[in-house]
Amino acid sequence: MAMTKEEKRAYKAAYMREYRAQGRESLKVIQKRKEYNSKWRLKNKEKIKYYYKDYHNNKKDGYHRVYLLQDYNYVGVTNNIYYRFNTHKLKENRDCSNHRILYKTKDRSEALELEALLHDMGYEGKSKRYN
C-alpha cells in the first residue's frame, strides 16, 4: 500500500531527526578523541620529542652528500638525504624524484667546498660559504 504525502513527510522528518542525532553522537565521539589525543601529546611531550629525534638521527649514516635537483638546477649538501628531500617537498614544493648524488664523503668541509664550487659555476642553492 502506498503512503500518503503526510505519511511520507512524517517518515522523512523522523528519518532526518534520527540521522542528525547520529551525526551529533559522531561529533561527540570525535571531540572526545581529539581531547584525549591533545592531553596525551601534552603528557608525552618529551617522549614524542625523543622519538622524532631518534628517527631523524637513525637516517644518518655518517656521510655528507652533494646532490643536484636537476629540474631546479639546485645543488645542496646534507648528511640526511631523506629528511632534506622531504623538506624540499613540503616547504619549497619541489619534486625531488629527478635528483643525482654528485659526491659522497665523510668530510663535511670537502662537501661544502664542492658545493661552493658548483654555486660559483652557476648552480642555485643556499650555501653557507666554507672558509
- Average of pLDDT values for 41-50? 93
What per-residue confidence (pLDDT) applies to 127? Answer: 62
- Average of pLDDT values for 6-11? 92
**Is 131 a residue whose pLDDT tops 50?**
no
pTM of the model: 0.59
* Number of CB atoms found within 10 A of residue 84's CB: 17
What per-residue confidence (pLDDT) applies to 130? Answer: 46
Q: Residue with C-alpha cell 646532490? A: 67
What per-residue confidence (pLDDT) applies to 129? Answer: 54
The DSSP code for 69 is E
**Is 106 a residue whose pLDDT tops 90?**
yes
Handedness of CA 100, 112, 61, 96 (dihedral sign): negative
**Of 82, 112, 79, which is closest to residue 99 (Cα–Cα)?**
82
- Average of pLDDT values for 15-28? 91
**Of 9, 83, 17, 18, which is closest to residue 52 (Cα–Cα)?**
83
Report which secondary-structure segment, H or E, holds 84: helix 81-91
Over the stretch 69-95, which tens digit does the pLDDT of each residue have? 999 999 999 999 888 999 999 988 999
Q: Residue with C-alpha cell 625531488? A: 96
Amino acid in the structure at residue 131: N
